[in-house]
Amino acid sequence: MKNKEKHKNTYPAIKTLESAGNFYKSSMTKGVFLLPNLLTSLSLFSGFYSIINTIAGKFYIAGWLIALSIFLDGIDGKIARLTSTISKFGIEYDSLADLVAFGVAPAVMIYKWQTGPFGKIGLVCIFVYLLGTALRLARFNVQINSVEYRKFSGLPSTAAAGMIVFSIFFIKSLALNFNYGALMLIVMVVLGLLMISNIGYFAVKDLSVFKRKPFRQLAALSLLIVVIAAKPVIMLFVIFFFYVFISPILYFYINNGKINLNSLKVLRH
């Protein structure tokens, strides 16, 4: 119960236009926190530079720059929470940076990579993804005091961008002779719809490395790091694939009545 209250009080509630104006005025006159916002700026630059490399035809570099943005987006929020430097400015700035790094950059990458020949159909599919990213981030900012503090409502934009990048890398590593542009367009639409869905996703930000954990978790994580280092493209593709699609499968499985929710609650306690 204390943890729940702690999470709820992390972000101040803004109920009226007047209180919102007072909050913004107060937060800006006090200045901004440098460290987390500098990391957000690096994430934004990484996404921007990814777009530049995509235009130049350097898709491999562009993809890894998006992956770098995913890493930076993860640690800036973690640092802000650990150092108690969370602010409304930082939340809004982070979402704007995410829209560029995880919305615009992957969309441009997919368009320039394989889907250009599909014309207007390709543009519509890519825009569905971009629109889903924008709506997802806007909803996150609105629900951050209530729904989003324990789990994500809808697929996080970081996971969607990672799925796109490592799908491209994985497909190219197979060196198959078929037109996979159509497949990626379908993936883009699915990811866009998952981001605006109400399907719950595990919040990776809840993982804490500063608390005591069972020894087996250390062993498992160490093994995972070694395997990822050995085959980074394949393993990261597998991780993102399972994260993106396991929640929808469980969601529809539960809603179809094939899992007894009461029995799950008993097992949880």
Q: Report pLDDT for 102.
A: 96
The token duo for 43 is 């994430």
Q: Report pLDDT for 113.
A: 81
Which has the closest alpha carbon to 26: 88, 117, 115? Answer: 88
Domain presence at residue 11: no
Q: Which residues of the chain have pLDDT under 50?
A: 1-11, 13-18, 20, 23, 259-269
Q: Report pLDDT for 17.
A: 45
Number of domains in the chain: 1
- Domain holding 96, by residue range, is 31-212
Q: Report pLDDT for 43.
A: 95
Domain presence at residue 254: no
**144 φ/ψ angles, rounded to the nearest 5 degrees:** -65, -25
Q: Report pLDDT for 84.
A: 77
d(C-alpha 110, C-alpha 5), whole Å: 42
What are 201's strand-pairing partners? Answer: 152
Domain presence at residue 166: yes
CATH number at residue 173: 1.20.120.1760
The pTM assigned to this predicted structure is: 0.79
Query: Is beta strand 200-202 parallel, antiparallel or unpaired with respect to 151-153?
Result: antiparallel
Q: Report pLDDT for 210.
A: 59
Grouping H, G, I as helix, E, B as strand and the rest as coil, residue 87 is coil
Domain presence at residue 50: yes
Domain presence at residue 230: no
Q: Tell me, what amino acid is at 210?
A: F
d(C-alpha 133, C-alpha 191), whole Å: 9
Domain presence at residue 238: no
According to DSSP, residue 146 is labeled T
Domain presence at residue 4: no
Domain presence at residue 133: yes
Buried b (16+ CB within 10 A) or exposed e, 236-249: bbebbeebbeebbe
